[in-house]
Amino acid sequence: MIPGLPFAAFRWTILTLAVLAQIYLFFRARRTLRSSRLSERLKTLSVAAVGVSLIGLFILNLALLYRPIPWVYPPAAAQAGLFYPVAVWGLGSIFSALLLLAGQISGWTARLLVRHCRRLTGRPQPTSFDPSRRLFLQAGTGGLFAVPLLLCGYGAAYAGRNGVVREIELPFGCPLRLVQLTDIHAGIYMNRQQMRRYVDRVIALQPDLFVLTGDYISNSLSFLPGCLEEMARVRARYGMLAILGNHEHWYAGLDKLQELFARFGVPLLQNEHRLIRTEHGVIAVAGIDDLRNGTPDLNAALHGLDRSIPTILLSHRPEIFPQAALRGLSLTLSGHYHGGQIKLGRPGVGVSLAHLRTPYPEGLYRNGASRLYVSRGIGTTFTPVRLNVPPEVTLIRLT
C-alpha cells in the first residue's frame, strides 16, 4: 500500500486486480483452447469449463475473505483440501496474470524489433512458423503461469507455518524475560491446534511476562473465545497483559470484547497502565487502543505514572513510536504489519507492501534512548501465504 492510501481504496485496488486477472486468464485460456486440435465440441466445453471454474474460484475466495465462516476451527484436512487451494489461487492468479501479460508484451516488443531489424538489413521475413518454437513458447507460457501458484502454495503449506523464536536483548533498567505474541488471526487458517503449538512454545520459553499486542481473530468473533482460552494457558511469573487490534473492533463493540477477555482471565489494557513489582524493582506496562479503529489515548494510559519507572508501551500499530519516544518510554511493542507477509528479496533484506506503507514494518528501531520492536506475528490476513517472512514468537531479554 502506498503512503496515505486509505485501506478501503487499497482493498478495492486489489479486488479490481483480481477481477481483471480472472478475465485476462480466461481469454488466454480460450485462445489456447481454440487454437488446439480438439474437436469443436470439446473446445466449446473446455472453454465453458474454464469460465465456470474461474468464476467459482473467485466467488469462493471472496466469501472466505469477506464473510464470517461458521466452521469454527476446521481440521487440517479441511484447511488443506478446501480453504488453502482457493486462497492460493486467489493470490497466485493475480501474479500469474501479471507475469503472462509482461511476457506477452515482451514478445510483442521482441517481434517488432526483429521485424524492424530485418527491414533495415533487407533480410526476408519468415513465411512459416517453426513448430519447435511454438512448443518452446508454450512451455515458457506454462512456466510463467505456474511459478506464482507454486510459490504461493509453498508459502501457504510450509513457509507460513515455519515459525521461529526471535530473541533480542535490550537495555531496560530492570532484568526481565518477556515474550510477545501478536497478530494471531484465529480463523480458518489458524485453527485451535496451530495456536496450541505456538502457546506451547511460549510456555517452553518460561517468560516472566507475556504480552499480546492485538488482532486475535481474522474475520469472525466466533474464533475469539478459543483463542483467548489457548492464550490463558500461559502462566508467566508476573502475569499476562493484552491490548486490542483493529480486527477486534471490526467485529465487536468494546463492551463485548472486555467481557470476553475478562471471562477467560486475559487482562486487557485499554488506555491504561499496570505497575508490576519484580524482584529487581517496579516496572510499568501501558497499553493503548488501536490507532485507527479504536479510541487511543496515550495521555490516559500514562496518567499518574512516574517517569522514572521503566515503562513498556503496548500498541498494535507502531506509528505511536515518535510520541512514545518524546515521553521517554523505554520500549514500545507492536505488530500489525506481519512484516509484509510477502517480501521480495533475500531473507533479512527486501521490500513488501508494508515497507511502502509504514516506516516501521518489522524489527527493531531506535529513537534516542527509546526503542520500538515490531513483531511479524504468527497469523496471516487476506491470504494465508507468507513468503520470505516467517511467523515469529518474540523473546525479549530486558537488562
In the chain the domains, ranked by start, together with CATH numbers, are: 7-157 (no CATH), 166-398 (3.60.21.10)
Split at pLDDT 50, 70, 90, the class of 169 is very high
Instruction: Express each pLDDT in 33-76 by its tens digit.
Output: 998 889 999 999 999 999 999 999 999 888 887 777 767 877 77
The string of DSSP codes covering 69-88 is -S--S--HHHIIIIIHHHHH
Q: What is the mean pLDDT of residues 82-103?
A: 90
> Which of 153, 15, 30 shows the shortest CA–CA distance to 89?
153
* Mean pLDDT for the stretch of residues 307-315: 96
User: DSSP states of 262-308 as a string?
Assistant: HHTT--B-SSEEEEEEETTEEEEEEE---TTTS---HHHHHTT--TT
The pLDDT value recorded for residue 137 is 54
Which pLDDT belongs to residue 126? 63
User: Is residue 2 over pLDDT 50?
Assistant: no
Cell for 369? 534512548
The least confident of 160-169, 280-289, 367-376 is 160-169
| pLDDT at res. 202 | 97
Q: Is the pLDDT of residue 91 over 60?
A: yes
d(CA 359, CA 318): 9
Q: What pLDDT sits at residue 380? A: 94
Write down the mean pLDDT value for the chain. Answer: 89
Question: According to the model, what pLDDT value does residue 3 have?
Answer: 42
| Rounded average pLDDT over 330-347 | 90
Which pLDDT band, with edges at 50, 70 and 90, does 4 fall under? very low
Q: Show Cβ contacts of residue 224 under 8 Å, excluding neighbours closer than 6 positions.
A: 186, 216, 217, 248, 252, 257, 260
Comparing 204 with 77, the larger pLDDT belongs to 204
Q: Which pLDDT score, from 0 to 100, does residue 348 have?
A: 59
Helix, strand, coil percentages, rounded to 5, for the chain = 50, 20, 35
Mean pLDDT of 332-355: 86
pLDDT score recorded for residue 97: 92
With a pLDDT cut of 90, the percent of the chain lying above it is 64
Name the pTM for this structure.
0.86
Predicted confidence at residue 208, as pLDDT, reads 98
- Interior/surface letters 165-187, b for 16+ CB within 10 angstroms, e for the rest: ebeeebebebebbbbbbbbbbbb
Which pLDDT tens digit goes with each residue over 95-130?
999 989 988 898 788 778 877 787 777 777 665 555
**pLDDT score for 320:** 98
Q: How far apart are CA 69 and CA 79, in angstroms?
A: 12
Per-residue pLDDT at 376: 96
